[in-house]
Amino acid sequence: YRIESVSYQNKKDCRILQACLSNWFKDPKTLQFTDPRMKFPFRFNNWVNLYYDQIGITTFILKHERWIIGHISINIELRFMSAHLFHLIIDPSYRRQGNAERLLTHIENILQEKKIRRITLNTVHKNEPAKSLYLKNGYHLSGYKGAGSEKMEKTFL
């Protein structure tokens, strides 16, 4: 397994990400659990315009035998010493194998090196596998957001 940084600003990375995400989001439920604001069928340009058209976002992919099997993005707010995680997605055929936790651990290690003290994220209320992953890794429910989303966070000492 290998974790690499990619950029939605890079055309080559975008072509690869578009192919992966379009394949992973063939199921409307996966798209809905990842982001309730995205409508089915998945439109890559809408995805980029909604989330990746701003500065400060870093995206990592998880590769297994040269295939991309996972994706996670983070927005770091240095002035608040906090970060926001979003779009943790694992290829359906590689789920329930610890791959989401691999990406999460990688991100947390980077954030701790940068002395980030707090991580936040939103998860869809009905997405039990995601909530279970985050709770198991020290996140706690910190509030609710519209459209059935829950806010979670984790703090480092």
Q: How does pLDDT run across 9-40, given as a tens digit for each residue?
A: 999 999 999 999 999 999 898 888 888 888 99
DSSP 132: H
Reported pTM = 0.93
Contact 20, 54 (CB under 8 A): no
What is the overall mean pLDDT for the chain? 93
| Joined tokens for residue 15 | 């072509």
Q: Residue 145: its pLDDT value, please?
A: 82
Per-residue CA distances from 97 to 100, 103, 109, 151 (Å): 8, 12, 20, 25
